[in-house]
Structure 1
Amino acid sequence: MEDLHAATRQHVQLAVLDGTDALVVEKISAAGAVPVVSQVGGRLPLHASAVGQVLLAHAGEDLFTEVVRDGLARFTPRTVTDPATLRLTLAECRRTGVAVVREEMSGDAYSVAAPITDARGRALAALSVVGADARTHLLVPAVVLAGRGISRGLGT
């Protein structure tokens, strides 16, 4: 995480699945970066955050059903609130190995996340970079590389 932060000079965070939320377990903030709502120990919605989408994409149908059952909260005009659209977004996340969120959780915040996996390829956590630039998606290779490095380091 420190290497990713040093390379990007953006917020870097690590989250795990906790019920129907993403629980932020570590975060390295960048001075002067876009304000974000996440904090260590805080929760993010699975459908509107990049770490959440990664976790939800790899969690299975039962959790998806539970998350969409009572409707999907809208945080900004760009938040995905349609279950069918969310399902397509999650399929794309599984296909590409990343989630890219553009102003869905808060205005002017763009995020890229990749899974942290065990030896069997199961997502244990999600790692993301959050920035204020629409070009944040260009950080996909760096986030994926960092996620793979952390995954290998787990030795599970």
Structure 2
Amino acid sequence: MSGGGADSRSVAEKLFAIADAFAGRESLGLTEIASRARLPLSTAHRLVREWVAWGGLVRGDDGRYRVGMRLWRLGVRQPTALRLRRIAMPYLEDLLEATGEHVHLAVRDGLGAIYLERLSGPGAVPVISDVGSRLPLHATGVGLVLLAHAPIEVFDEVLASGPRKYLPNTLTEERDLRRRLAEIRSFGISTSVEELTSGAFSVAAPVRDATGEVVAAVSIIAHVERVAEPQFALGVRMAARGISSALGYRPQGE
């Protein structure tokens, strides 16, 4: 363990330290987990195996670990997430009926966007997002909205992490990202075309709580051939405003 000396933490505290190691990280290798949790590699290996057996972590084909669905499901049972999903559902269902494409509700977790809900039409464009997915902020419509309204240090961390260029349209340079985030704050909406998934575009808008803080983002992901259709941007704006209003948000002047 880094720092030397005996580790007086209980087994539970060490397990929690492993969970905390994933804050702001989509995936970690075993050595990274041990370092971030301040554990010997052998101890980290043993406890990570316990996490995997329980379903709190999953090991990918690349040998790296990610947060598992069982741990995520525990998180969304907490009252705030449950209330957000419940309030948002009628608006998400309306969007699905109007477009027949994918409709998402997501919140920020560190440098990723976690999808709390996804509704999909039978002919919707193939995408990798699903309930419980954690995708990068810089490459997703909901993620860019959440990043645009996050503290500046989150943006600095995204840049420091070396954002991945998934497709030619994915923005990874600081100047390009700063300009995009400023546009999102100015226009209140994000439109992303083939930045994470080929053949798809995303329209997303922020959801605010009673204090005015952006707590979530709602989006539609649709076939890129439909990008010029006006109902997507209008529908997402209306859904975001409806959810925000139900959460107690009142724009200044109202």
Shorter chain as normaliser: what TM range? over 0.9
Identity of aligned residues (%): 47
Distance (Å, rounded) in 2 between the aligned partners of 1:109 and 1:31: 15
Q: Does 1:36 align with 2:127?
A: yes
Q: Which residue of structure 1 aligns with residue 224 of structure 2?
A: 133
SS of the residue corresponding to residue 202 of structure 2 reads strand
Runs of 5+ consecutive residues of structure 1 not aligned to the other structure: none
SS of the residue corresponding to residue 34 of structure 1 reads coil
More helix by share: 2
Give the letter for the 1:153 counterpart: A
After superposition, what is the alpha-carbon deviation per residue over 1:15-60, rounded to whole angstroms, capped at 9, x for unaligned?
0001110000000011121100101001111001000000000002
Distance (Å, rounded) in 1 between the aligned partners of 2:225 and 2:179: 21
1:149 to 220, 226, 242: 242
More displaced, 126-135 or 38-47?
A: 126-135
1:47/1:80 contact within 8 Å kept:
yes
TM-score by length of 1: 0.96
Distance (Å, rounded) in 1 between the aligned partners of 2:172 and 2:190: 16
Distance (Å, rounded) in 2 between the aligned partners of 1:82 and 1:57: 15
Runs of 4+ in 1 over 2 A off after TM superposition: 133-138
Q: How much has 1:155 moved relative to structure 2? A: 2.5
Q: Which residue of structure 1 aligns with residue 203 of structure 2?
A: 112
Q: Flag the structure with more relative contact order, 1 or 2, with Cα contacts below 8 A and sequence separation at least 6.
A: 1
Greater gyration radius: 2
Give the letter for the 1:26 counterpart: E
Distance (Å, rounded) in 1 between the aligned partners of 2:176 and 2:226: 23
1:130/1:136 contact within 8 Å kept:
no
Q: Which residues of 2 match residues 1-156 of structure 1 at below 5 A?
A: 1-136=92-227, 138=230, 139-155=232-248
1:116/1:123 contact within 8 Å kept:
yes
TM-score by length of 2: 0.60
Distance (Å, rounded) in 1 between the aligned partners of 2:112 and 2:219: 15
Name the count of aligned residue pairs: 156
2:100/2:123 contact within 8 Å kept:
no
After superposition, what is the alpha-carbon deviation per residue over 1:82-128, rounded to whole angstroms, capped at 9, x for unaligned?
11100100000000001110000111110000011012321100000
Q: How much has 1:133 moved relative to structure 2? A: 2.6
1:50/1:112 contact within 8 Å kept:
yes
Runs of 5+ consecutive residues of structure 2 not aligned to the other structure: 1-91, 250-254
CA RMSD of aligned residues (A): 1.2
Give the letter for the 2:243 counterpart: I
Sort the Cα spacing of 1:84 and 1:124 in 2 relative to 1 into closer, same or farther, 3 A: same
Distance (Å, rounded) in 1 between the aligned partners of 2:226 and 2:136: 23
Sort the Cα spacing of 1:83 and 1:134 in 2 relative to 1 into closer, same or farther, 3 A: farther
More strand by share: 1
